[in-house]
Amino acid sequence: MTTEAIVSVPEYLNWTTRVFSKGPTRSGKGWDLCFATPLPGSSYETHVYPRDPAIMIYPDIDGAPAVVKHSKTEPDGTVTNWESNVVETGDVVAIQLHRDTFKATKQDGSPSDPNYATSYFWELTSIVPSDGQVEAGAPTPPRPPAAGTPPTGHPAPTPPAFQVEGVVKGHCEKIVAQLTIAKLLPGIEAEDGGIDWEVFRTYRDLYYHNVSNVPVEPLVGGVLASEEIEEEEV
């Protein structure tokens, strides 16, 4: 399928919406984050499946963890209120979605139409708390992946032969610990209710090789270096 055939599906969607639900996928190997706003042309809530559960922790504000107020009505009618930096059901948020993989066929086996937003998976690229007021100008979308690059962004680098610095290792372990506390890492809890440290170390290593050890692309004259090279080659 070529992008020229797409005439009515935007590449990015910027919404202020409400988190309708949050929970593990049916396989239990990932997360299903549902938003109350439907995709264009749909009447159902929008489901996304974050590849990196770290996106469900709100970004720090001025170097400190975000403090977001949450509220939940219990079965007996009482209301529980608490604060955290984790995305929770009921939160009002500003999000950006990126059009991802095309679903070649519908659930009934018939071919999908590339001009419908529901014919695609959508990747959550950003989520922040919102007071419900949306500015007219949406934030500048991140640079789309280059052709042949996996949807997750940069391909994971080859694991380094040298030993990882202690501060970097500690940073990765801190992130995994935060995700563990937020209960965003499936399979990390041991049968006795404690932490499965082997699984913890696996998550730590995956975070290092897929996030911390992926170099940040530099800006040259206000644009990404790779974009500068592409323009010169044209």
Q: Are 163 and 170 in contact (CB under 8 A)?
A: no
Q: Which two tokens stand for residue 109?
A: 């086996």
What is the mean pLDDT of the segment spanning 159-188? 77
pLDDT (0 to 100) of residue 46: 92
pLDDT (0 to 100) of residue 40: 87
pLDDT digits (tens, 9 = 90+) for 65-101: 888 988 888 888 888 899 999 999 889 999 999 999 9
pLDDT (0 to 100) of residue 95: 93
pLDDT (0 to 100) of residue 87: 93
- The single-letter DSSP state of residue 57 is B
Identify residue 39 by its one-letter amino acid code. Answer: L
Q: What are phi and psi of 4, to 5 degrees?
A: -60, -25
Q: Are 181 and 173 in contact (CB under 8 A)?
A: no
What is the mean pLDDT of the segment spanning 30-58? 90
| DSSP element (H, E) containing 124 | strand 120-129
Q: Which two tokens stand for residue 187?
A: 């399979």
pLDDT at 142 over 70: no
What is the mean pLDDT of the segment spanning 214-234? 55
Q: How many angstroms separate the CA atoms of 57 and 87, rounded? A: 6
pLDDT at 1 over 70: no
pLDDT at 4 over 80: no
Per-residue confidence band for 153, with pLDDT thresholds at 50, 70 and 90: very low
Counting residues of the chain whose pLDDT is more than 70, the rounded percentage is 74
User: How many CB atoms within 10 Å of residue 59?
Assistant: 12
pLDDT (0 to 100) of residue 58: 93
pTM passes above 0.85: no
